[in-house]
Structure 1
Amino acid sequence: MALLIEWKSGGNRFMERCNGALEAEILACVEGIALALHWTMLPFEVETDWLTLTQMLQSREKDLSASAHLVREIRRLIDGDREISARKIHHAQNQYY
């Protein structure tokens, strides 16, 4: 059983270099996962409206994409004893308050 903790932040941060929207979403996931790992010991779920990112995170095959290094970073963060899952949500569910 997992406890749902909603973390929604309408923040912004300057990125030195970004190859596109998918990479920006992956970088946001890296930062969000790192924060969740820091602030809770509970299981959590990563939600994204990018199907491609969800598939990248769920796949166990070697990632050969341009963002493979970032996907490896996410996998490094979520490997461990804690239950952490990823799922795709509809864009309309992606709201900031």
Structure 2
Amino acid sequence: MVLRNGDGTTIFAAYRYIFHCNDALEAEIHAIMQGMALAIQHSDMPVIVQSDSSNALATLTDATLSRSAYGHLDAEIKAHMVAREFVPCKIGREQNRVAH
């Protein structure tokens, strides 16, 4: 997870080891959720959430209750969205080199 300010300068970067992860989608949703929590703590501005996973970004835009295996993460992301404006932004995999 990388938090940048408006001009693209890195504010901070973080990583976390997930001990039990089923697939890449779960890891991406975890990263989005943790990044949102950190952004709420360190900034009061609207946040653009960039990811190369359109499935993970769908958790930010889908208003329905998720009945997937990751529904608990989806609910936590929705709770973060009450505190701040988060704008999902799909980026290409080549733009997300820091994560791969």
- Bin the TM-score by the shorter chain: 0.7 to 0.9
2:51 matched residue in structure 1? 48
1:35 matched residue in structure 2? 38
> Where has structure 1 moved over 6 Å in runs of 4 or more?
none
Higher helix share: 2
Deviation at 1:17, TM superposition (A): 1.1
Q: 1:15 and 1:41, CA in 2 relative to 1: closer, same or farther beyond 3 A?
A: same
Partner Cα separation in structure 1 for residue 36 and residue 74 of structure 2: 12
Partner Cα separation in structure 1 for residue 80 and residue 7 of structure 2: 18
The answer for unaligned runs of 5 or more in structure 2 is none
1:93 matched residue in structure 2? 95
2:72 matched residue in structure 1? 69
Report the secondary structure of 2:87's partner residue: strand
Indicate the structure whose relative CO is greater, using CA pairs within 8 Å and at least 6 residues apart: 1
| Structure 1 position 19 matched with structure 2 position 54 | no
The answer for unaligned runs of 5 or more in structure 1 is none
Higher strand share: 2
- Contact 1:4 1:44 (8 Å CA) reproduced: no
Partner Cα separation in structure 1 for residue 68 and residue 47 of structure 2: 26
Letter aligned with residue 82 of structure 2: D
Percent identity between matched residues is 33
Partner Cα separation in structure 2 for residue 22 and residue 49 of structure 1: 11
2:61 matched residue in structure 1? 58
Q: How many residues align?
A: 93
Report the secondary structure of 2:97's partner residue: coil
Provide the aligned C-alpha RMSD in A: 2.2
TM-score, scaled relative to structure 1:
0.81
